[in-house]
A and B are shown apart, each in its own frame.
Chain A
Amino acid sequence: MPPSFKWDSLKRWETLLAVVLAVVVIFNISQSSVFLRVDNLVNLFMLHIEKIIVVLIMTLIIINGEIDLSVASVMGLGACVVANLYERGVSMEAAILVGLGVGALCGIINGFWVAYVRLPSLAVTLAGLIAYHGIAEMLVEDRSIGNFPDWFNQLGQKALIGPLPLSLVIFFILFIIFAAVLHFSAFGRYVFVIGNNREAARYSGVRVRQVKMMLYIMSGVIASLAGILFAARLGAVRASTAEGFELDIITVVLLGGVSIFGGKGTLAGVGLSIMLVLCLRNGMNLLSITGNTQSTVIGVLLIFSVLIPNLTQDFQGFWNRRRMIAK
């Protein structure tokens, strides 16, 4: 039995998510003939692909006991940098590289304050959320920049391998890499240990600051990449691109059973949570349930997925006691 694979929590959280997911899928199939169509299944991912790419790295950051509220702003900034440079005549390839670099820079800034100065990550990345968005505004102002080269738009919109577009391929590859790193590598072990007890990790010779720095840099680069993919998918960039995505991203991570206090969570759970939210949203869209009703349903699901098992447990305990008293 591998150590970071806890059967207990698997029983409690992941199984539950799997059950709920199965129910949702069956419901969707019964309600809509479109659901199982390949194009719909691709759409289901593609409509939120940028968010769920960032969900992966956010999982690691939250398990590490920190948070990154600035991801959505970095996504927007990455897209805006690329658009702005392209607009100025820089080649798209170079622009993308610079965009990723800017993402890394944002990560370094966040990481520096969090890891080395030990400021609370919530405060630091909240400031980042405002500031990086502000820089994006400086770059794009009130314009909408589009007319990117065809290959760029194609990458965002058209299938690359079989029916899968590039971003979906990237997501699956990242998912496998992150799962391996988090659950089977030394780095992943450090991520967990630091999330559980930063001081104990330090006393064990773990390079706490470097690990945190690495995570934030990865977060910056991946968020920026996601932002650029978003630009390719939509074919245009505005200053408000990706604004407000951070809460959606964090919600999915938490629904996946990752503890906001760090040290606990699995990518399997997060994967299930991604599937669950995507299927639910897609099903509701197919049934024409949109807007606030949709978010209300997700909100209810979020609460009930934890509440129900807790209540059943209480209920069982209650019955057991009743039986014992009766005896």
Chain B
Amino acid sequence: DEAVVATPGETVNMILLPKFLGIAVFDQAHQGAEEAHAELQNAGTLEFLGPTQENSAAGQVEIVTTAASRDDVDAIMISNNAGDQLGPALEAAKAADQTVVTWDSPIPSGDSEDLFVAQVDFDQTGKVMADMALSILGEDGGKFAVLSASPDAANQNAWIASLQETLEDEAYASLELLDIVYGDDVTETSYDQALALVDKYPDMELIMAPTTVGIAAAAKAMQDEGLCETVKVSGLGLPAEMLDFTLNGCAPEFALWSFVDLGYVTYYATYLLATGAIEAEEGVSFEAGRMGVYTIEKDPTREVGLRIVMGPFSVYNIDNVEAAANPGGAEMTPEATEEG
């Protein structure tokens, strides 16, 4: 099949809906979407709407429901934080002929979305985490625990499941998963949980936190208690937040993908779907600007659902973290760079 190329200049009114407003990663996704928006010379609007963090799930439902009853919305791009609870609201949007694309975090049941733009292959996430664990702990492996976000965060749960599956593999036999705890993506809770793990499992050598809040809090906790030599931290983190901890060895290695690119690819996919240039069907290929060609496939991590996988993971360590933390010098830390 030929990869479909988007025709610029059509009018598609789009809403980009993150889990909530106010934190860096979603802003980066917004940047990527804006970039694509400009590239495609969309005559319509791109609105960046989101709930507050405290009211994330109900807020998402509210925004989607309102969007569904608006005449001037053609497509919704959502990072789902409400599990299947968003289903009926998205059904209503689809009933109003709106295109629904999920990114970052899908609808678990897969019904009410057209397409999921996966940042990475969820099944790969487990392997990436296990590999980092081995690389940090050495070939002899060791014991480690997982510090996740909230127990009902769909993407985190999928990654942890994939990690557990990966661990069954012979190659990772030396790794022992002790416990899974939740820090609710709240700094204080994550910090306390990390220290509780240390106290509970004296022979634990690694905390794996597949959440940017958790990994930073855990690293800070280890640093504050002078435990960085004995307990390492790894997982999914933002280079800018992890810079210090990677440099001082508390979190020698962690991974993430580019949220800018994720927003960019999501925008392209949605634009193409909404303009009717492509259909959400298995095997359809399209070109997403500078990111290249993607092919829609069945999502193997869910029973129903189509996805494209953006990939790849970037694994950060002492060699590349600084460059990643300050892309172009001034993006993330204007104050720090202005002054010194």
Please say whether chains A and B are actual partners in one complex.
yes
Binding site for B on A (CB under 8 A): 33-34, 37, 39-40, 43, 46-47, 137, 140-144, 146, 153, 156-157, 233-242, 244-245, 248, 281-282, 285-286, 288, 290-292, 294-295
| Interface 1/0 per residue, B150-163 and A, CB below 8 Å | 11101001000000
A233: chain B residues at CB < 8 Å are 88
B159 to chain A, nearest CB (A): 12
B70: chain A residues at CB < 8 Å are 34, 286
A245: chain B residues at CB < 8 Å are 58
A43 to chain B, nearest CB (A): 6
A297 to chain B, nearest CB (A): 12
B82: chain A residues at CB < 8 Å are 234
Q: Output the residue of B52, B63, B66 with the most chain A CB within 10 A.
A: B66
Binding site for A on B (CB under 8 A): 20-22, 47, 49-52, 54-55, 57-59, 61-63, 65-66, 69-71, 82-88, 108-109, 150-152, 154, 157
In the complex the two chains form, is A34's CB within 8 Å of B63's CB? no
A153 to B109, CA, bound (A): 15
Q: Output the residue of A33, A156, A234 with the most chain B CB within 10 A.
A: A234
B258 to chain A, nearest CB (A): 24
In the complex the two chains form, is B87's CB within 8 Å of A291's CB? no
Neighbour of B63 across the interface among A137, A146, A157, A290, CB < 8 A: A290
Other than A39-B69, A239-B151, A240-B152, give 13 A-B pairs with Cβ distance below 8 A. Answer: A34-B69, A37-B69, A40-B69, A43-B69, A140-B152, A142-B151, A144-B83, A156-B88, A235-B87, A236-B85, A238-B57, A291-B21, A295-B52
A236 to B176, CA, bound (A): 34
B25 to chain A, nearest CB (A): 15
A291 to B55, CA, bound (A): 9
In the complex the two chains form, is B69's CB within 8 Å of A290's CB? no
In the complex the two chains form, is B151's CB within 8 Å of A288's CB? no
A163 to B66, CA, bound (A): 17
Q: Output the residue of A39, A237, A240 with the most chain B CB within 10 A.
A: A240
Knowing A144-B83, A235-B87, the reply to whether A137 touches B151 (Cβ < 8 A) is: yes
In the complex the two chains form, is B63's CB within 8 Å of A285's CB? yes
B84: chain A residues at CB < 8 Å are 144, 146, 234-236
In the complex the two chains form, is A234's CB within 8 Å of B69's CB? no
6 A-B pairs with least C-beta separation: A236-B84, A234-B85, A142-B151, A144-B83, A285-B66, A291-B21
17 contacts across the A-B interface (CB closer than 8 A): A47-B65, A140-B152, A141-B151, A143-B152, A144-B154, A234-B61, A235-B84, A236-B87, A238-B85, A241-B57, A244-B55, A282-B66, A285-B63, A288-B47, A290-B59, A290-B63, A295-B52
A245 to B88, CA, bound (A): 20
B23 to chain A, nearest CB (A): 12
B313 to chain A, nearest CB (A): 24
A286 to chain B, nearest CB (A): 6
A238 to B59, CA, bound (A): 15
A279 to chain B, nearest CB (A): 13
A248: chain B residues at CB < 8 Å are 55
Knowing A234-B85, A240-B57, A240-B152, the reply to whether A291 touches B50 (Cβ < 8 A) is: yes
In the complex the two chains form, is A291's CB within 8 Å of B51's CB? yes
A294: chain B residues at CB < 8 Å are 52
B55: chain A residues at CB < 8 Å are 244, 248
A153 to B85, CA, bound (A): 11
A37 to B21, CA, bound (A): 29
A288: chain B residues at CB < 8 Å are 47, 49
A144: chain B residues at CB < 8 Å are 83-85, 108, 152, 154
A40: chain B residues at CB < 8 Å are 69
In the complex the two chains form, is A291's CB within 8 Å of B20's CB? yes
In the complex the two chains form, is B62's CB within 8 Å of A47's CB? yes
A67 to chain B, nearest CB (A): 19
In the complex the two chains form, is B59's CB within 8 Å of A43's CB? no
In the complex the two chains form, is B151's CB within 8 Å of A290's CB? no
In the complex the two chains form, is A291's CB within 8 Å of B52's CB? yes
